[in-house]
């Protein structure tokens, strides 16, 4: 079995369970957003992502302990010395999924989170809302890609 098969299968099962729950009741997939960085654009995009999740029919904002998916942001202002800060930032976005495999102390794949994707964004003040929507939509696209690879 390929190394990515277990995490991918887990992610697909998680998505299918969330889809079934959405069809039956208003249960949403819990997502936690974590941000590290003191720059204005990074703080704004973290806020905008949480707001986008709150508006979503598929996701809800959650605490770290209760989340199935985590969106981790690290941001840094791109201003050069002697330039005004707050106009644009570089933002690293990493998605993690809680690993629900039964714990096997000999197998690290059972105790480490799953990392389906990461990306680096260069975001200006005027792009915060658009980029927040993109960040929230990426898990959907990733899950669909995994499902198509598995022939489901």
Q: What confidence score (pLDDT) does residue 40 get?
A: 95
Q: Which domain holds residue 126?
A: 5-149
Q: What confidence score (pLDDT) does residue 68 get?
A: 83
For the question of whether the overall pTM of this predicted structure is more than 0.85, the answer is no
For the chain, which residues score pLDDT lower than 50?
A: 1-2, 5, 21-22, 150, 152
Q: Spell out the residues 6+ positions from residue 88 whose beta carbon is closer than 8 angstroms to its own.
A: 41, 77, 78, 79, 122, 123, 124, 125
Number of domains within the chain: 1
CATH of residue 118: 3.40.50
Q: What confidence score (pLDDT) does residue 152 get?
A: 45
Encode pLDDT of 100-141 as tens digits.
Answer: 778 888 887 777 888 888 999 999 999 999 999 999 987 766
Q: What confidence score (pLDDT) does residue 34 get?
A: 97
């Amino acid at each position: 079995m390929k190394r990515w098969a277990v995490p991918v299968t887990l992610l697909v099962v998680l998505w299918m369970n969330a889809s079934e729950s959405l069809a039956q009741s208003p249960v949403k997939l819990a997502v936690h957003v974590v941000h590290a960085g003191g720059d204005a654009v990074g703080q704004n995009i973290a806020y905008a992502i949480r707001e986008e999740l709150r508006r979503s029919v598929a996701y809800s904002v959650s605490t770290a302990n209760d989340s199935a998916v985590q969106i981790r942001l690290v941001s840094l202002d791109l201003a050069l010395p002697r330039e005004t800060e707050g106009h644009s930032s570089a933002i690293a976005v990493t998605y993690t999924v809680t690993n629900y495999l039964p714990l096997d102390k000999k197998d690290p794949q059972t105790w480490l989170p799953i990392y389906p994707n990461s990306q680096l964004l260069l975001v200006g003040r005027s792009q915060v809302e658009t980029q927040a929507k993109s960040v929230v939509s990426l898990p959907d696209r990733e899950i669909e890609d995994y499902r198509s690879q598995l022939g489901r």
